[in-house]
Amino acid sequence: MIVDSLWHFPVKGLEGACRDTVHLEAGQHFPDDRIFAIGNGHKRHEESAAGVWHKKGFFLQQMTLEQLAELSCEFDGTHLQIHHRGKLAAEGDMNSADGAHDIESFFAKLVGHQIPGEPRLMRVAEESYADTKEALITLGGTASVDRFANETGTKPDMRRFRLNIMLQTETAFSEFDLIGKRVRLGMAELKIVAPVGRCAAIDVDPETAVRGPHYLPAMERAFGHTDLGIFAEIVSSGAIGVGDRLTVLD
């Protein structure tokens, strides 16, 4: 298995951006991954302290708002850009109140009529707005994405699953054989801990932002499960890059 691509998703629920290399830190999340989310106006956001992790149901998500698939984002550490179908739609300095307001205003115009209250740009303090509160990253195999596409009559597209590390694989779901094992990837070491269970967000075509049929029943019939991807814990820090080979240690 060789690293095919590396992805970080600065804003939860939106398409992210590729990187050629990243430095993984032991016990941490993937760098710059899901550090922002757009609150859906739920009153719980007002009641809780800033930067606290919440479940995905409190944020804008493709499970309910398929038009989010039209958006991608880039973040350089201070400046966030939101692109709509490849064109810059909103941007702001995340260290300023004005910058956050500009991002919120964009989402208010886009989906404000579909959510409980005013959209709110939220930034997690030291963790990630990933679906799991634990510090885990995600990996997946290209053959698994191809198999899903073949069974569902869709176009192979890794963006549908928003995994951090895509590995070149020849056999669908062969990455599941790594669960429970310790592996080296580049200069980092990982412990593979569990499969990634999918949700209805995968029903949305990342190319067209059109919601298709519900694919979880099709996955269950074809594969006997509804998983695609694996969770891993970073146990030893180090850099990884596209082209690095995965080695099983034990």
- Share the mean pLDDT of the chain: 91
pLDDT given at position 50: 58
Please indicate whether residue 215 or residue 41 has the higher confidence score (pLDDT): 215
Instruction: Provide the CB-side half-sphere exposure for 122 (13 A, CA).
Output: 32
| Max CA distance (Å), the chain | 52
Task: Give the CATH number of the domain where residue 188 resides.
Answer: 2.40.33.20
Query: Which residues, in sequence order, are CB contacts of 243 under 8 Å at separation 6+?
Result: 2, 3
pLDDT given at position 44: 62
pLDDT given at position 45: 58
Say yes or no: 165 and 243 in one domain: yes
pLDDT given at position 163: 97
Instruction: Give the orientation angle of helix 142-152 with respect to helix 216-223, to 10 degrees.
Output: 110
**Polymer length of the chain:** 250
Instruction: Among 125-129, 130-134, 148-152, name the one with the lowest average pLDDT.
Output: 125-129
pLDDT given at position 43: 67
DSSP 208: T
For the chain, strand residue ranges (E) read 2-8, 17-19, 21-24, 36-39, 71-75, 79-84, 87-93, 120-123, 137-141, 165-168, 182-185, 188-197, 227-236, 238-241, 246-248
At position 54, the amino acid (one-letter code) is H
Say yes or no: 190 and 243 in one domain: yes
Which of 98, 123, 148 corresponds to the end of one domain? 123
Say yes or no: 20 and 47 in one domain: no
> Among the residues of 112-196, which ranges form H helices?
142-152
Say yes or no: 99 and 169 in one domain: no
pLDDT given at position 55: 74
Say yes or no: 84 and 158 in one domain: no
pTM attached to this predicted model: 0.91
pLDDT given at position 131: 83
Which of 81, 103, 123 corresponds to the end of one domain? 123
Mean pLDDT of 55-76: 88
Say yes or no: 141 and 116 in one domain: no
Say yes or no: 185 and 201 in one domain: yes
Say yes or no: 10 and 79 in one domain: no
Instruction: Provide the CB-side half-sphere exposure for 99 (13 A, CA).
Output: 14
pLDDT for 101 beyond 70: yes
**How many whole angstroms separate alpha carbon 88 and alpha carbon 82?**
6
Say yes or no: 161 and 208 in one domain: yes
**How many whole angstroms separate alpha carbon 14 and alpha carbon 10?**
8
Q: What is the pLDDT of residues 168-209, one digit of tens each?
A: 999 999 999 999 999 999 999 999 999 999 999 999 999 999
Say yes or no: 169 and 205 in one domain: yes
Q: Exposed, middle or buried: residue 181 (CB in 10 Å: 0-12, 13-18, 19+)?
A: middle
Q: Exposed, middle or buried: residue 6 (CB in 10 Å: 0-12, 13-18, 19+)?
A: buried
What 210-216 contacts at long range (C-beta under 8 Å, 24+ apart), as own/partner pairs, is 210/66, 211/66, 212/152, 212/154, 213/152, 215/148, 215/152
Q: Which of 34, 36, 15 is nearest to 119 (CA)?
A: 36
Q: What is the pLDDT of residues 139-163, one digit of tens each?
A: 999 999 999 999 999 999 999 999 9
Radius of gyration of the chain (CA): 18
The strand pairing partners of 11, in sequence order, are 36
| Domain membership of residue 209 as a residue range | 2-29+132-248
pLDDT for 53 beyond 80: no
Cβ(73)–Cβ(14) under 8 Å?
A: yes
Q: What is the pLDDT of residues 2-42, one digit of tens each?
A: 999 999 999 999 999 999 999 999 999 999 999 999 988 77
Which of 93, 123, 153 corresponds to the end of one domain? 123
Say yes or no: 143 and 237 in one domain: yes
Q: How many domains is the chain partitioned into structurally?
A: 2
pLDDT for 47 beyond 60: no
Say yes or no: 54 and 161 in one domain: no
Mean pLDDT of 221-238: 97
